[in-house]
Amino acid sequence: MAASHEEEHPVKAFGYAASDTSGLLSPFKFSRRATGEKDVQFKVLYCGICHSDLHQIKNEWGFTKYPIVPGHEIVGVVTEVGSKVEKFKAGDKVGVGCLVGSCRKCDNCANDLENYCPLSVQTYNDLRTTTYGGYSDIMVADEHFVVRWPESLPMEAAPLLCAGITTYSPLKYFGLDKPGMHIGVVGLGGLGHMAVKYAKAFGTKVTVISTSPSKKQEALERLGADLFLVSTDPEQIKAGMATLDGIIDTVSAVHALLPLIGLLKSHGKLIMVGAPEKPLEIHMFPLLMGRKLIAGSCIGGMKETQEMLDFSAKHNITPEVEIVPADYVNTAMDRLKKSDVRYRFVLDIGKTLKAA
């Protein structure tokens, strides 16, 4: 008889799971695999709340398997390593982002782009196997998918592991990191505020394009943006026409792309990182007239994720976070839905997650 999931996963774990499309998260007991030869097991201290967690607990993307334990911005301290682990030892500070596996053989993997491997394994809600994320007390992952947490970064900066890399990677890959360029950031949430910070660190001029006039003062004074456009005000959009070299669009819901394409100069690039549940409409003429480009980008590979962490540590770039207790998670989801967060919730798992 084949071994049961519990036999193959003898390590008791505890966290928060949603069990249906209401997305309501409740205390949940489950189990994880024993630490394998190449595995790192760690105690979770902090886990960020990404809008992708919200999309998936409510099955907005259509592929959620319940029960789902979300969380892919996970930071903690190593408790145990397997006999063949080379990079880590007990006591090290580490992180796990959106990936815990890939084929390690395909062209993407060979080029440090595990994030584009067709067999990549997601940290939770993976399509092919059962994985549980970081709203939980412990994690275990192959050391290849574990990153070293720089000593000078606070551990509550966990959102770097998704919000950070998802905005750092396209700014670099699409060449939107050249000093003097003018970059737009659409949606000032978890991803958007990190895009502003990296774009500024690369020496570009930054315009935030937002639906929330209430975020203007903070965007300019605290996050360092140069300009702020309210996207629902046609006059403000008109004034910004043909001024941007590139745009990082982080919006989580269906929204109009036409005004954004208009904001781009000729040859400007509109990079989509947000993942709304329904398709968006693209008008062709404004794209053709100016040889403009629309592209997508998904997190980053393991090598680039470590590079982004080291860059963030060196330049003192950290997310603005609201640290909340684990049992605040459902309230945090309700507030995230309303874009009511400055600018990322982080669960204080280490101090507040208590086994039932």
Least gap, CB of 306 to ligand NAP (angstroms) = 17
Out of 71, 133, 190, 240, the residue judged to bind ligand NAP by CB under 6 A = 190
Cα 298 to Cα 149, 168, 173, 253, 306, distances in angstroms? 21, 11, 12, 17, 16
Per-residue string for binding with ligand NAP, 246-285, x by CB under 6 A?
----xxxx-x-----------------xxx----------
Which residue, 146 or 299, has its beta carbon nearer to ligand NAP?
A: 299
Instruction: List binders of ligand NAP among 202-221 (CB under 6 A).
Output: 210-212, 215
Q: Which residue from 97, 101, 184, 189 is in contact with ligand NAP, where contact means CB under 6 A?
A: 189
Q: How far is the CB of 162 from Zn ion (least distance, A)?
A: 3
Query: With binding defined as CB under 5 A, does residue 50 bind Zn ion?
Result: yes
The span from the CA of 304 to the CA of 145, in Å, is 12
Q: Of 45-53, 116-124, 279-287, 323-331, which segment contacts ligand NAP by CB under 6 A?
A: 45-53
Question: Which part of the chain contacts ligand NAP (CB under 6 A), choosing from 22-30, 104-112, 159-167, 284-292?
Answer: 159-167
Q: Six-digit token pair at 223? A: 């996050």
The nearest distance, CB 142 to Zn ion, in angstroms, is 20
Q: List the interface residues with Zn ion, window 157-196 (CB under 5 A).
A: 162
Residues 128-147 that bind ligand NAP (CB under 6 A): none
Under rule CB under 6 A, how many of the chain's residues touch ligand NAP?
A: 30
The H or E element spanning position 333 is helix 329-337
Tell me which DSSP letter residue 149 carries: P
Burial of 110 (0-12, 13-18, 19+ CB in 10 A): exposed
Q: Which position among 75, 188, 317, 321 is part of the footprint of ligand NAP (CB under 6 A)? A: 188
In the numeric block, the tokens 């000593």 are attached to 151
* Residue of closest CB approach to Zn ion: 50
> Minimum CB separation from ligand NAP for residue 276, in Å?
6
Nearer to ligand NAP, 43 or 335 (CB): 335
Helix (H) or strand (E) holding 139: strand 138-142
Backbone angles phi and psi of 93, in degrees to 5: -85, 130
Which partner from the list ligand NAP, Zn ion, none does 190 bind, CB cut-off 5 to 8 Å by kind? ligand NAP
Is residue 298 part of the contact set for ligand NAP (CB under 6 A)?
yes
Q: What is the DSSP string of 153-183?
A: S-GGGGGGGTHHHHHHHHHHHTT---TT-EE
273 near Zn ion (CB under 5 A): no
Cβ proximity to Zn ion, 97 vs 240, nearer residue: 97
* Nearest-angstrom CA–CA distance, 245 and 264: 6
> What is the secondary structure of 226-257 as a DSSP string?
SEEEETT-HHHHHHTTT-EEEEEE--SS----
**For 215, how many CA atoms within 13 A lie in the half-sphere containing its CB?**
26
Distance separating alpha carbons of residues 172 and 102, to the nearest angstrom: 23
> Which long-range contacts link 90-95 to residues 24+ away (Cβ below 8 Å)?
92/148, 92/149, 93/148, 93/149, 93/151, 93/155, 94/40, 94/42, 94/146, 94/147, 94/148, 94/149, 95/146, 95/147, 95/149, 95/158, 95/160, 95/161, 95/309
Residue (169 or 207) nearer to Zn ion, CB: 169
Q: Residue 269 binds which entry of ligand NAP, Zn ion, none, with Cβ cut-offs from 5 to 8 Å by kind? A: none
User: Smaller CB distance to ligand NAP: residue 160 or 273?
Assistant: 273
Nearer to Zn ion, 50 or 94 (CB): 50
Residues contributing to the site for ligand NAP (CB under 6 A): 50-52, 55, 162-163, 166, 187-192, 210-212, 215, 250-253, 255, 273-275, 297-299, 336, 339
